[in-house]
Chain A
Amino acid sequence: MTGQGHNGKIQARTDKSMRKQKAQTGGNFMKKGEVVHTAYGDKVISSRIPVRKVFRKHWLLLVMLIPAVVYVIIFCYVPMSGLVLAFEKYQYRGGIYHSPWVGLQNFKAIMIDGKLPGVTRNTILYNIAFIFLGVVFEMGSAILINELRNKYFKKTAQSFMFLPYFISWVVAGAIMYNIFNYERGIWNSIAVALGGSRVDVYNTPTVWPFILVFLKLWKQTGYGSVVYLAAIAGMDQEMFEAADIDGANAWQKIRYITIPSLVPTMMVLVLMAIGNIFRGDFGLFYQTVKSSALLQPTTDIIDTYVFRLLINNANVGVSAAVGLYQSVLCFITITICNKLVKVANPDYALY
């Protein structure tokens, strides 16, 4: 949980002071309790400092943490004990903690029709596409907007880009139907008027991954680019002016200054997204696809699959089991990813 990597090895970092430190100590391991001076503050490489010392030195910081800690304990950790429902058959009389124990039976219920591996695969593949393309689009649009000069264009474009966030998936699904339905959809009407042929989107499974990714980007980009815009606004202008003097052109400035400076923000957002990589956006997949066995192999995710399974029988135990399944998989994934990132650059890791 500290800045030290595996086996005490710390890979070389671009931070000038780190290199200086390394030169000074001859590249030896950082000792526990040692303080490293960086431009961003003194960093302590240890968690073995005695508790009393921390309390005495940082008591105010701890006090400042109290509201959030209390909130999280009450609203997150206390209900978390309800995970035990995944192993029980919920009865009103028993409540959460005393209902009859059924072991892994709830998990068997979601594995019975053999769809679980397929929907898990779909969930993770779609999420990888969303994360990767999301970064490209959000960071890209933030950088491009930053390069534009016309204030009015910038303001209106940004506001327009934000509008899809307000459209619920129900309404978005209805609009999509109106554009793509076979007989009188807007797309097909225009295609026929221009002499082309109609597309039967709702009966063609192979197009759907592209459609769903497009829809997600359409809704998400405006909202997601805000963080990158804020990060760009917080960047040190000195670097740009130095680059100007060195004669760098616009593309070079973007490539060598802007993007690297955005990498920390990007890593944080990507890691947080990875922490949810086995959970899908239910509204998107349900409202646009509805229920069609034809489209399901390519569009069904864990959340929609479980929703249809439990639609008539609100089985608390089974839905808790699914939640646990998703949580465990997410936990394993993020632990691995966070460790990998920590080895590369401890500052980018989430914890």
Chain B
Amino acid sequence: MKTKLTALILTLCVLLSSLAAVTASASGVAELPDDWKTNVIKATPDMYPDTDLSKPYTVKIYQVGDKPVDWDKIQNALNEQLAPFNTSIDTIFMSWADVSTMYSLNLAGGADIDLIFTAPWEYMFTEAAKGSFFEMDEEFIAKYMPLANKYQPKESWAETKLNGKNIAVPCGRMAPEGRLVGIRTDLAEKYGIGELKNWDDFENFLLTIAEKETPESGILAFGGQENNTAFWELWYTNENWFDAYYTNNLRFSYAYEGKIPAAEEIKLAWETDLFRTFCREMKKLADAGVWSRSALNETVNEWQAFGAGKSASIEWNGTVFTYMKEVEKNEGVTTAAYDLFKEKGTLVTAEAYSNGDIAIAAGCANPERAAMVLDLLKFDTAMNHTVVLGIEGDHYTIDENRIYTRTDNAANYLPDGNSLSWATRNGDVEEAGVPEREKVVYDEWKRRMTANPLTAFIFDPTPVQANADAVDSIIGDYYGMLGLGLVDDPDATLDEMLQKCYNAGLQDIYDEMYRQYNEWVAAR
């Protein structure tokens, strides 16, 4: 009798404790703090009750870009951290030179892939249309990616949905991306040019250099090559234009006025009067000799030219500072960067969440495990910092405010320097020691940063794919010449290009786009 009672009590105790354990683990994620940016998040295997962790599994990750020198150290550190989860990772790098062939070939050809880096500029939507990615529904994300479910900004999920299904997981941060112009101040002073406040000042600088400096020393005013996206972006930004759809050469844009535009306001960027005026203006600059007449075939790109002292100006985003430092070091000259839009107060676009994403391949043998690894790399603080920053003490040091400093060894694993980190970064760390002139610019940008409401609108060109490819190709043929002003009659050439586009079915693309857009607006 006594033994029976003891047994009963013991069983009850076991049941109760296991019940407690179950309820404790199920609420494990719920117990985590809400703010991942200041708190250390540590994940444990019991946060993934639905994932079967009994057998070991190696998750194969495909990255784009070349392998950093110290990658093996990083991978070993990550595998140690993943050991409690009975999982490990193995990474394969697709070098930049090969990625255009190997990316879709690996996905189609049956290579063993679990996770793969992707982005709208890296075949994300075209591969998704072929069904190469695993489609995650809300239930899957809630069950197998609880951390992402909790912490990933809600508005970011819409950016990686195709036809209502999630095909990739975006990164955790949105950063301002403004445009800057850098010039050689030594040359500016030589000709009495001061601070540049807007496009006209800049144009004046270019024309002066082309007229006076180039014949003398051979330094070009601007190292234009291939096409002139740099200057077009300046004009575009000047008028607060945002993109509705931008792939390769197919760019549909609208002028942002603080609200969701009507369908008809979205136009092909090359059809607008702004572009027409731009082409005429570029011809004027080309004829004045601002860039080489053989610029279309120039192999050296515009920022390299500036860094080597071959040209007097550069235009891009924050990268401008890197090349300014280079030419200051190499040639011993002075430079300055100007935000041509500060005075006018134009908006600064945000680098979307979806600028770096990770997708699960359709052929993945164990999507739940792959999802778990992705979840951990994104939001488990220790693992996330390993991927984004490297090994603490070896590549970086960090203080309690999450401001990090690079060590001398950082060149072997540059912070935020590989595709995995672009897809998993959260914006919770910041670098110390940013030079004053850069900090001023970035802070100013953060102030004017505006998210493009149409980033969540994903146009699916599949019904008009052939037309889209044809029009894209036609624009690609003309864009370089027009942008660099190397045509005799910009208006005639532009009309010719547009005529060919309409012959190839541009109107069909418009119709389809408006149709999808109106559906999307109605569904919001």
A200, B248: Cα distance in complex, Å = 29
Contact partner of B500 among A90, A113, A184, CB < 8 A?
A: A113
Report whether A92 and B363 are in contact in the complex, using a CB–CB cutoff of 8 Å.
yes
Would you call A309 an interface residue if the criterion is a C-beta within 8 Å of the partner chain's C-beta atoms? yes
Give min CB distance, A348 to chain B, whole Å: 39
Chain B, range 463-500, C-beta contacts under 8 Å to A? 465-467, 469-474, 476-478, 480-481, 486-487, 493, 497, 500
Report whether A312 and B466 are in contact in the complex, using a CB–CB cutoff of 8 Å.
no
Contacting residues, chain A, for B297 (C-beta < 8 A): 177, 181, 202, 289-290, 292
Would you call A294 an interface residue if the criterion is a C-beta within 8 Å of the partner chain's C-beta atoms? yes
**Which of these binds chain B: A36-44, A61-69, A104-112?**
A104-112
A173, B103: Cα distance in complex, Å = 26
Contacting residues, chain A, for B298 (C-beta < 8 A): 177, 181
Chain B, range 264-285, C-beta contacts under 8 Å to A? none
Would you call A244 an interface residue if the criterion is a C-beta within 8 Å of the partner chain's C-beta atoms? no
Chain B, range 231-279, C-beta contacts under 8 Å to A? 247-248
Contacting residues, chain B, for A315 (C-beta < 8 A): 465, 469
A80, B293: Cα distance in complex, Å = 46
Report whether B362 and A109 are in contact in the complex, using a CB–CB cutoff of 8 Å.
no
Contacting residues, chain A, for B123 (C-beta < 8 A): 314
Report whether A309 and B292 are in contact in the complex, using a CB–CB cutoff of 8 Å.
no
A92-B362 contact, Cβ under 8 Å, with A112-B466, A177-B294, A183-B294: yes
In the complex, the number of residue pairs spanning A and B with C-beta atoms less than 8 Å apart equals: 114
Residue total for A at the interface (Cβ-Cβ under 8 A) = 41
Contacting residues, chain B, for A203 (C-beta < 8 A): 293-294, 486
A243, B123: Cα distance in complex, Å = 68
Report whether B299 and A308 are in contact in the complex, using a CB–CB cutoff of 8 Å.
no
Contact partner of A109 among B108, B363, B465, B500, CB < 8 A?
A: B465
Contact partner of B130 among A90, A105, A181, CB < 8 A?
A: A90
Report whether A183 and B476 are in contact in the complex, using a CB–CB cutoff of 8 Å.
no
A293, B473: Cα distance in complex, Å = 10
Report whether B248 and A312 are in contact in the complex, using a CB–CB cutoff of 8 Å.
yes
Report whether A293 and B132 are in contact in the complex, using a CB–CB cutoff of 8 Å.
no
Would you call B518 an interface residue if the criterion is a C-beta within 8 Å of the partner chain's C-beta atoms? no
Interface size range of chain B in the complex = 35 or more
Would you call B218 an interface residue if the criterion is a C-beta within 8 Å of the partner chain's C-beta atoms? yes
Would you call B74 an interface residue if the criterion is a C-beta within 8 Å of the partner chain's C-beta atoms? no
Would you call A316 an interface residue if the criterion is a C-beta within 8 Å of the partner chain's C-beta atoms? yes
Contacting residues, chain A, for B427 (C-beta < 8 A): none
Report whether B126 and A293 are in contact in the complex, using a CB–CB cutoff of 8 Å.
no
Contact partner of B466 among A105, A114, A173, CB < 8 A?
A: A105
Report whether B296 and A312 are in contact in the complex, using a CB–CB cutoff of 8 Å.
no
Report whether B469 and A108 are in contact in the complex, using a CB–CB cutoff of 8 Å.
no
Would you call B503 an interface residue if the criterion is a C-beta within 8 Å of the partner chain's C-beta atoms? yes
Report whether B477 and A293 are in contact in the complex, using a CB–CB cutoff of 8 Å.
yes
A312-B477 contact, Cβ under 8 Å, with A93-B362, A183-B292: no
Contacting residues, chain A, for B480 (C-beta < 8 A): 291-292
1/0 per residue B81-107: CB within 8 Å of A? 000000000000000000010011001
Give min CB distance, B357 to chain A, whole Å: 17
A92-B248 contact, Cβ under 8 Å, with A113-B474, A113-B504: no
Contacting residues, chain B, for A181 (C-beta < 8 A): 292, 294, 297-298
Give min CB distance, A282 to chain B, whole Å: 13
Give min CB distance, B94 to chain A, whole Å: 13
Report whether A290 and B294 are in contact in the complex, using a CB–CB cutoff of 8 Å.
no
1/0 per residue A180-211: CB within 8 Å of B? 11111100000000000000111100000000
Give min CB distance, B243 to chain A, whole Å: 15
Would you call B226 an interface residue if the criterion is a C-beta within 8 Å of the partner chain's C-beta atoms? yes
Would you call A313 an interface residue if the criterion is a C-beta within 8 Å of the partner chain's C-beta atoms? yes
CB-defined A-B contacts under 8 Å, sample of 22: A105-B466, A109-B470, A112-B470, A112-B505, A113-B470, A113-B473, A113-B504, A181-B292, A183-B293, A203-B293, A290-B226, A291-B476, A291-B477, A292-B477, A292-B480, A292-B481, A296-B477, A310-B469, A311-B100, A311-B476, A314-B123, A316-B104
**17 extra interface residue pairs, beta carbon distance < 8 Å, beyond A109-B465, A202-B294, A308-B473:** A90-B130, A177-B297, A183-B292, A183-B293, A184-B218, A200-B293, A202-B297, A292-B480, A293-B477, A293-B497, A294-B487, A311-B100, A312-B469, A313-B469, A314-B103, A314-B126, A315-B469
